[in-house]
Amino acid sequence: MIKIEEIEKLAELARISLTEDEKAGLQKDIDGVLLYVGQIKNLKAEMADVSPVTENVMRTDEVLNASGEYTEKLIKAAPKSENGFVKVKKIL
């Protein structure tokens, strides 16, 4: 169980002020969260031997277009180009 003093220290670190009711509410909420995390921690330890039931399905890479097939068309379609590159306005 988290102590009120610890909640006050957390509030001080967060630079927030809490009423006594808020401190009590936070104490209850944080205790619930810590209990839940403890349950998850125990569950993971019990399930350490379970193998995964999913796996990645990867497709093979296929080259659909010849290298540079559309380069000339794209450069001609650009408003400005220079030395085989699209020229854009400087932004920095």
Q: Is 36 left (phi over 0), alpha (psi -120 to 50) or beta?
A: alpha
Domain boundaries, the chain: 4-46
Work out the average pLDDT over 11-18.
Answer: 96
The pLDDT tens digits for 54-66 are 888 888 988 888 8
Class of domain 4-46: mainly alpha
What's the pLDDT score for residue 44? Answer: 61
**pTM given for the model:** 0.46
Contact 81, 75 (CB under 8 A): yes
**Greatest pairwise CA separation for the chain in angstroms:** 72
Handedness of CA 51, 54, 60, 61 (dihedral sign): negative
